[in-house]
Amino acid sequence: MTLRLALALLLGGVLVACSSEPSGETLESVAAKLPPIYDPTSLSGQAIPNSDLPPEGTRSLFDHLVAQNGALPYPFEDVVDWLASLDKDGKRPTTVLVPHGRSLQKGKSSFADPRVILTADITPPDSAASHAPIYKGRLFLGFVDNAEEIEVLSYNEAAGRFEFQLVKDYCKGCTPRIVYAQRNVCLTCHQNAAGIFPVRPWQETNASPEIAARIAEALPERASYGGAPLSVKLESPETIDNNTDISNIIPLAQRIWLDGCGAGDIGATCRQLLLRQALSFAIAPGRYDADNSESQILREHFARNWPERGVALPDNNLLNRDPLQDDLYAGGVWAGLKRALFGRSETTTAGGGDKLADFDALPPLPSELDPLTLRQPQRIISSDELDGVYALAQLFVPSDLERLEAQANYKLEAILAAVEHPALAPITDAKPFRRMATTDALLTALGAKSTPIHWGMNITEMSPPIFEGEPVLELAEGSQLKPFETYCFGCHRGNPNAKLNFMAGADEAAVLDNIQNADKVREVLDYERYLGSKKANTLMPPAGSWQRDKLDAELSEGQDPLTAMREQVPSLFEF
């Protein structure tokens, strides 16, 4: 008997004892059950709805970023560079590689095509004129090239919730679509409605020497993949873990702000007290007394409205998993024996059809490692605890507090007194807590003649959000829109910026009509006039894009898609 066969037989015995059988439930059936933190009848459930699309008049941080940038960069390396350019010191966002993880993309990833997980732990430049956006703990991306998809989790401050989005068809030659995902499907794993990540030592990631070595073996002569280093130190997954902890506190703060205080005038008074205590802690944490007289009154208010079952702090931590070990248990005894004898195949296990069906077809994980398994809360918070004070304090950033202190001549009591000013009445209504609006109202109450500009694009200047299930525009054979699809749709169809979304439309006729009504389309395609001039940078597609490279190659080969496109739009001199 060979050593390998003996090992396989030994492993087979272990597999019989330890393999995890499928539960029989599909992902959609799990998604039909809301996680325990959701109570649609609660005040927070009504003020922060569990809808797939963001509440009307609100958009995600990711949408605002893409709209302001004008387009989503491609390839993913350029996304990493773009986010680094938003940091005041050019610091790159933290990334890790996960070849065999637990996300919906797991069937598409491998050592040769690992999933890139990114947290935007970046700090924007200081600005005296505008509020600074917050990225840390509020923006996460997951990308698998083979899946041609980016998973996006980003905060929606106006709605008081995280949004789940997908960038579908994210590939060269494709028209990417930024869509809102089926929220309940995302909540099957993100049971906290925020970020999740494994606990140390993060053996799924390329912080593990064994994982990093396997990735390097599959990607010879490369130092990075998707803008991420092939090997990282433990501080990288630790940073992502810490940022998911930050994200986990935000929904908690919103639930206590609403459910802990309740509705009506009594609820507004409670929120006044909660805000005063949060500001007191945020500005002077070393001097904060958790047993001060006002905090005792706050506890009494909490006791009147606190949910009977308490307020849960969800568990955003997944157990550490070593995919090189637990892979032996996936799929049962015979699958484990096959891998023990012949090694793991690097071909993808999921098909190319429906993503949820592909996910259900994959071998199940042991229940304790499966993110679909219901996780018990980290703890249940009672009405006599002040977690809401500390959680709410975290929603402010240093620049907010510095502005308030400067306006109040560095007198804490003046800031706390401002909370009772009439300007704060809309803030303490039974609505989600909004950091920028709250800071503005406090500055106004303190006598400021003007308030900082709100970061982000005006919602009225953004195109409507798109849901994942909305149909894709299928062009007929020989359609006049074909060259526009190739060279223009990537930036001008489905763009969150309404001004740049002028190739939107439900059918070919509507899209063509929109193009024909866009005055500048012909001008930006007028290569004969502008190429080589000072206005060359206005030509589209933009220089450096794969669309421009393709266009240049076709023009050099004697093909002329420009004329066909220009014929569809009005002449510059038509009256």
Asked whether 101 and 110 are in contact (CB, 8 A), the reply is no
Give domain status of residue 410, yes or no: no
The rounded mean pLDDT for the chain is 88
DSSP string, 231-243: S--THHHHHHHHH
Longest Cα separation, the chain: 89
d(CA 557, CA 113): 33
Domain shared by 51 and 197, yes or no: yes
Domain final residue pick, 354, 369, 384: 369
Give domain status of residue 411, yes or no: no
**How far lies 512's CA from each of 476, 485, 486, 515, 573, in Å?**
13, 11, 15, 5, 20
Give domain status of residue 474, yes or no: no
Give domain status of residue 223, yes or no: yes
The pTM assigned to this predicted structure is 0.89
Range of the domain at 497: 482-566
Domain shared by 487 and 363, yes or no: no
Which of 544, 545, 540 lies closest to 561, judged by CA? Answer: 540
Give domain status of residue 284, yes or no: no
Which of 547, 569, 536, 563 lies closest to 487, judged by CA? Answer: 547
d(CA 149, CA 145): 7
Tokens of 16: 């019989």
User: How many other β-carbons are positioned within 10 Å of the β-carbon of residue 402?
Assistant: 12
SS3 state at 333: helix
Domain shared by 147 and 14, yes or no: yes
d(CA 360, CA 350): 9
pLDDT of 33 over the 90 cut: no
Domain shared by 489 and 356, yes or no: no
Which of the residue ranges 82-96, 135-149, 422-436, 454-468 would you say has the lowest mean pLDDT?
Answer: 454-468
Tokens of 238: 């630790």
Asked whether 281 and 416 are in contact (CB, 8 A), the reply is no
Domain shared by 363 and 487, yes or no: no
Total domains in the fold of the chain: 2
Give domain status of residue 438, yes or no: no
Give domain status of residue 198, yes or no: yes
Domain final residue pick, 325, 340, 369: 369
Using a pLDDT cut of 70, give the percent of the chain over it: 90
Give domain status of residue 374, yes or no: no
pLDDT of 166 over the 70 cut: yes
Q: Over the stretch 470-519, which tens digit does the pLDDT of each residue have?
A: 888 888 888 888 888 888 888 898 888 888 888 888 888 888 888 888 77
pLDDT of 5 over the 80 cut: no
SS3 state at 23: coil
Asked whether 68 and 224 are in contact (CB, 8 A), the reply is no
Which of the residue ranges 151-155, 156-160, 540-544 would you say has the lowest mean pLDDT?
Answer: 540-544
Cross-strand partners of 379? 313
**How far lies 307's CA from each of 43, 133, 383, in Å?**
10, 32, 9
